[in-house]
Amino acid sequence: MNPTVNHQAEMTPDIALQLLKDGHERFINGCSKHRNLLKKVQETKNNPKPFATILSCMDSRVPTELILDQSIGDIFNIRIAGNVISPHVLGSLEYTITTAGSKLIVVMGHTNCGAVTSACNDVMMENLSGLLREVKTCISQELTEISNRTGDNESFVNKVSILNVYRSVQQILEQSSIIRQSVDSRALMIIPAMYDVSAGKLTFYFR
* DSSP letters for 167-190: HHHHHHHHH-HHHHHHHHTTS-EE
Estimate to the nearest angstrom the gap between the alpha carbon of 127 and the chain centroid. Answer: 23
List binding-site positions for Zn(2+).
Answer: 57, 59, 110, 113
Estimate to the nearest angstrom the gap between the alpha carbon of 206 and the chain centroid. Answer: 14
> Is 13-204 assigned to CATH 3.40.1050.10?
yes
Beta-strand pair 104-110/52-56: parallel
Domain segments of the chain: what residues?
A: 13-204
User: What is the per-residue pLDDT for 206?
Assistant: 79
Q: Is the distance from CB of 90 to CB of 97 less than 8 angstroms?
A: no
In the chain, what's the furthest Cα-to-Cα distance? Answer: 55
Which tens digits make up the pLDDT trace of 47-96? 888 999 999 999 999 999 999 999 999 999 999 999 999 999 999 999 99
Task: Report the DSSP beta bridge partners of residue 110.
Answer: 195
List binding-site positions.
Answer: 57, 59, 110, 113
Q: Confidence class of residue 5 from pLDDT cuts 50, 70 and 90?
A: very low
The arithmetic mean of pLDDT across residues 107-133, rounded, is 96
